[in-house]
Amino acid sequence: MFIDSYYSEQNGNISFTRDQGSDFAKKVADDFNPLHDAGASRFCIPGDLLFAIILARYGLSRHMEFVFSGMVLEGIELVLPEPSGELSLDDIQGKHYLSVNRSGDITTDETLIQGLTRNYVEFSGHTFPHILVPLLAEQGLMINPNRPMVIYQSMVIDLDTLGMADPSLEIDHNELTTDGKRGNVSMAFNFMSAGQLVGRGEKHMVLGGLREFDEQAMTAAITRYNERKMAFAMGND
């Protein structure tokens, strides 16, 4: 499957290099969050990569809930659990990173899983600046442009059918609640196929270090973000 090059497996355990995590973020999710730069001091593996691996290894269920409990770093070995309705992704020391609850019909159709995965992670990867900046600006806030704290907390999907073809994803609505320098974001979205609504989902994130909106600072941050994307694209032509 297309995701196989973004992790390594040995004896039923999976692990990641910085380059694998960074390449997935940039090449698949179009996500240029500095946390996923291979050279970042606070580097972590994208949560969407774990989501993609779960679907590739265990199939797509009509109902799935993902709850993230910790950031996966390079070299950490995660133990792939036996298939069940409740999956726990832990490292070899027993530290917990991800819980997955799933129910309903399951499909292992590779074409469907790959299409849904690519559409979801690209949507998720565009959280900044496309979604977060205008959402925060409405309340006169922004994240710290020099030290962004955006943590993927959980996600749920509910599908009406697994018989869809070429699913796409459309934003339904976004919500932001704040408490001082912290914020909670909920992004609701719909799965569409052949113009018909075939499922729904919701992603939750926690924001830290919120501050008063500064248009000049945020414009500069977005410019830097776009310049990094352009430089990466030119280097990979």
Predicted structure pTM score: 0.92
pLDDT at site 193: 94
User: What is the average per-residue pLDDT within 1-26?
Assistant: 93
What whole-number distance in Å separates Cα of residue 229 and Cα of residue 16? Answer: 23
Question: According to CATH, what is the number of the domain 2-235?
Answer: 3.10.129
Q: Per-domain residue ranges for the chain?
A: 2-235
Average pLDDT, the chain: 92
Which stretches within 100-157 are classed as H helix?
Answer: 110-125, 132-137
pLDDT band of residue 68 (cuts 50, 70, 90) is very high
User: What is the average per-residue pLDDT within 141-168?
Assistant: 90
Distances 234 to 32, 227, 228, 230 between C-alpha atoms, Å:
15, 10, 10, 6
User: What is the average per-residue pLDDT within 142-162?
Assistant: 90
pLDDT at site 102: 98
